[in-house]
Chain A
């Protein structure tokens, strides 16, 4: 029985499938990373220089003696910091486009971790989850589909029309990461009385430092506040559990999109909703994403670029050992 269970887990996590989902995920995450760092760049001096709010020495103090991946450790020369920042933006652009994907995504991860460790006080949850995503993108063969790398290789004739299937474990780790975020946030909330008594969502709406668009007054009354408070918990828990049940997947993800759309509308937490929801695509196989993508392009009467969308459908035939990619 254990062997059968392990075999099921093994197939689900390490089995092979289409690289398309990770390709699209990479493009979205790379774009969000680029937007994030371009937005942050307008206050570059404030956050990343000795003249600013956060001098380099504070990063050392924050690290508490534990070594951290930080290429800017002890670097006080603004020109070096600016050069690495520009490189990070370039790496994000290349990751989004899928150009030199492996190198670009590894560089992006190293540099975004460097800047996170250089000035940790300005990080929010969006930065943290973005870092986790880019780590998994760097591990995955995420340039195998929906990328300029593939397009160029097809034009040169060095790539097969149908790319090799890839092991799904990086995509499964994205799903796992999302489940962890939602599961542990519910666990943390379980210790708070305002979540139990159904009043929690009322409070952030009155923190003016988060104000964005006004909350309709009827929502800030009972029983609406209780419905939204318990609804938040239910959706978050479902995003960690029920989302793995295929018949429920679409509805759970729709609930998650509505939850984050509501937060995005009422509260100023830049990019967080977009970043976390970008991971939702990991719950869909490459064939499903590709089919959806092609339907959209057909409706828009657009012809997909050869190679950007062209990928191998999940072959019912097992490939020969030579075709099995190794990581």
Chain B
């Protein structure tokens, strides 16, 4: 009689790693609990929390796993951050955006004339270029909100450089404009006009402009 076939398996360390990786990915991608759910969790008894499994899981994940045990400051918690495995899948969630936004820049030259410098706007680009230039939309998304105001001066300086290269005229001031349009609910006429306002006024750094233009 033949001997039984050997059991095929992998090293236990690999099993531990796979389990750890799977846990970290799940923990990292789980939505944040609402503030109300967190407060309720701490008021409730253990039994009451067991009766609210979804909220309890989210709070436990947020406060214990991501916080106390495997948070970014803890040795094991660095796994996702250091390696670039961090991830978050809230595409079109919790609700899709309903405001269409684009930006452009008003260039003021030394002679007092003014011109609009277009920051690449996907809507106006031919389809192949949309594919290549989409990063501009993404950058704009992480720029135009007020919480990113620390990026505005540098962005204005870069736009001055692009304008100088394109026109040969040296801008002395750059004014960043934000334009937006609220999408109307379904069944209602869609607006066609954008609202806009200037959100940053920047005096161009002449020396840096000349240095960068070399």
Contact = CB atoms under 8 A, between A and B. Distances in A.
B151 interface: yes
B84 A188 contact: no
Contacts of A47: 135, 139
A326 B89 contact: no
Interface in A268-321: 268-270, 317-321
A121 B154 CA distance: 14
Contact of A185 (B11, B78, B84, B89): B89
Nearest to A188: B93
Interface stretch (A24-32, A148-156, A195-203): A195-203
Contacts, number: 197
Interface stretch (A79-87, A98-106, A175-183, A245-253): A175-183
A194 B90 contact: no
Contacts of A234: none
Given A14-B10, A204-B97, A209 B30 contact: no
Given A51-B212, A125-B89, A184 B30 contact: yes
A68 B81 contact: yes
B199 interface: no
Interface string A130-141: 011001000000
A124 B122 CA distance: 15
Interface in B58-109: 72-73, 78, 81-85, 87-98, 100-102
Given A187-B31, A270-B131, A326-B11, A200 B95 contact: yes
Contacts of B92: 189, 200, 204
Nearest to B150: A61
Interface string B155-191: 1001001000000000000000000000111110010
Contact of A209 (B14, B73, B102, B132): B102
Contacts of B43: none
B84 A69 contact: yes
Contacts of B11: 326-327
A180 B25 contact: yes
Q: Which residue of B15, B84, B127 has the most chain A CB atoms within 10 A of its CB atom?
A: B84
Q: Which residue of B87, B121, B155 has the most chain A CB atoms within 10 A of its CB atom?
A: B87
Nearest to A41: B132
7 contacts: A69-B84, A117-B84, A125-B91, A202-B185, A212-B127, A270-B134, A319-B8
10 closest cross-chain pairs (CB), A and B: A318-B5, A113-B84, A192-B94, A188-B93, A192-B95, A191-B94, A208-B123, A122-B135, A206-B183, A184-B29
